[in-house]
Structure 1
């Protein structure tokens, strides 16, 4: 086989491999987008259902009972961003949303005299008893 034909064959093989890689990347991005869309639809449905309360006659309680699912919906949407998003700035904002909304939920429950739910790790964080938790803790402490 002449040298020129071998180079053309190599170029064709490289282009074919690149095309397959691009197609696989596009399929993964499409899968992530579909998962993100489905997770957000579920979060929105749960939030809207949770906000539909029967008025109790206590404006403060009714306000909190509607706002808590609203804040929980924001948490679930931010968790979905952390699972599927790639933009580091938006991922940091999502982390802040989770912390802020959890604090506001706790403050509303305390203001009403309701007990706080048991603390659980975010679905995007390792459980305290998992082998990855210790490593995560070591990497998440602020440097001095």
Structure 2
């Protein structure tokens, strides 16, 4: 007897499909992997004349006492044809005062085509608190914007 071909039993296929779908829906969901821990993040690249820079933040360690350490880095490159003098500033967000605090200021001369990282001192943060860093480089004739980065807390 052919149930699928008879006019009288045309409802069997949709019913069988619905039952099959319910069976799949009742299956337990597949386990999902936890979100990866981000140990490094960078803000936007900013141009100030021939000097181009980008602020980054890096987790340097995660401690057993619900703390971690992060360090601000400013990558500065000279895309001009001559050496470039510049002044840099690296700041971190201070959660206790609710404002930016200067970590590092420096002046340097960068040869044409060169790139260098400039580091702020590492700082400890409690787990759950993001590391916010920003950096800026200025040359005598150009002043750039802040390159800001937020590194999610790794714990």
* TM-score greater than 0.5 by the shorter chain: no
Structure with the greater alpha carbon radius of gyration: 2
Identify, as 1 or 2, the structure richer in strand: 2
Identify, as 1 or 2, the structure richer in helix: 1
- Bigger RCO (CA 8 Å, 6+ sep): 2
TM-score scaled to structure 2, two decimals? 0.24
